[in-house]
Chains A and B, each alone.
Chain A
């Protein structure tokens, strides 16, 4: 095994990512275990199985699909961080995309890797700090943040995000964008089952379709 100092930057990111993420898995499991020990409580195993059977198959499927789909977009460091801090499609990924656009670097370059990591780390830190402030100020903030008048604003975060990102990316690669945008519009308008709960599943479908169409266009020299 190579010494740490002999590793390339990317290899060291993977080694650190493994250590951090497997450690975080253990730490997260410690929470229910320690709560149980302190308060002398054992889980209700029947309810545990009932809850798990109801949600785990879907979450695990989505988790596998999200990992495979988002990994090449987030970069390695960004992936390790994002899958610990969560809120990927509504926060970390748009943040990374915006940073790559702003820095004018390619996602698959080492420059893209570090820019994406810096943006996602910043976003993770800021989110965590804001949530801490929210928890500290929960009592005075609750009537303001849960005021019905603000509900529509928080309900529309995704359209607000992807309107701006859509313009930035479609204007750069409109030839690639036409077919998947048309397909997704048709599918989402005509199939009632496609909604906020299933959009995560449609991301890899759309990505695979886009890659297929791009390959055909590329082979026919239509992307030159």
Chain B
């Protein structure tokens, strides 16, 4: 059979795998939903969580579609569709594909079946650690957290908050990673900082409106609204402050 990176059979295979991924999500969702009802969490509250998680996901998911399109130039659509729907991220998959293609040692106008299989294997083997490590460590780490909680409940809460805050601090630091460009008279490093400020101010504004008006529904959409407004603000801000020199 003649191979092409966009062969219909590749789409069928990827479609089957993606169906399995959706099935896993639906399975965990149904089990958690039933358990939530047993725990006495009202259905309305759960529906709100679903609604705002869905709305929040739209903008980042569209950026994943962009990733599929970018990777599809060399790899066709099927493989990037698989890699960015299961485990991967654009940066990981781009590097894995580029390094493997480099290892072929020649310029490649179109991938052969053998090269395609090789790239797919490197992407799969490279990225699989979390998927099997989570089941191996999950129960033990949860037991550790429970022991901590039994010993000192207050410290267990602080410990959990510290984990969240540590993660958020690292990403806040990352926002400032190009800030030093200011010392060289360039302003592009201020773009992410201004975008972050727009997002933060939108969230604060949503909180204030909620307090003033009592419209509690605003809090359900504060994060997606902040995300989209800040992303939109990035366009004029980049036009104004410039981009990193290539």
Contact = CB atoms under 8 A, between A and B. Distances in A.
Contacts of B22: 124-125, 128
Contacts of A12: 31
B116 A41 contact: yes
B130 A189 contact: no
Contacts of A113: 32
A154 B173 CA distance: 19
Given A64-B129, A153-B231, A210 B169 contact: yes
Say which size band chain B's interface belongs to: 35 or more
Nearest to B161: A173
B41 interface: yes
B177 A189 contact: yes
B36 interface: yes
Say which size band chain A's interface belongs to: 35 or more
A22 to B, nearest CB: 6
Main secondary structure of the interface of B (DSSP, over half): helix
Interface in B182-218: 191-193, 195-200, 202-204
B175 A158 contact: yes
B170 interface: yes
Contacts of A24: 20-21, 24, 86, 131
Contact of A131 (B84, B120, B171): B84
Contacts of A80: 24, 28, 134-135, 138
Interface string A150-172: 10111111111111111111101
Contacts of B246: none
Given A80-B28, A118-B49, A159 B230 contact: yes
Interface in A144-198: 145-146, 149-150, 152-170, 172-173, 176-177, 180-181, 183-185, 187-190, 192, 194-197
Question: Which 4 A-B pairs have CB atoms at the shortest separation, nearest pair first?
Answer: A184-B173, A163-B199, A63-B129, A50-B103
Interface of B: 1, 3, 7, 9-10, 13-14, 17-18, 20-22, 24-29, 31-33, 35-36, 39, 41, 45-46, 48-50, 52-54, 56-66, 68-70, 72, 77, 81-82, 84-89, 91-92, 95-96, 99-100, 102-105, 112-122, 124-135, 137-139, 141-142, 145, 149, 154-177, 179-180, 191-193, 195-200, 202-204, 219-220, 222-223, 226-227, 230-232, 234-235, 237-239, 243
29 contacts: A10-B142, A13-B28, A21-B135, A25-B131, A29-B124, A44-B104, A50-B99, A51-B96, A80-B135, A87-B89, A98-B52, A124-B21, A131-B68, A141-B69, A146-B66, A146-B70, A156-B234, A159-B196, A163-B197, A164-B226, A169-B165, A180-B165, A189-B176, A189-B177, A194-B177, A203-B167, A207-B163, A209-B166, A218-B155
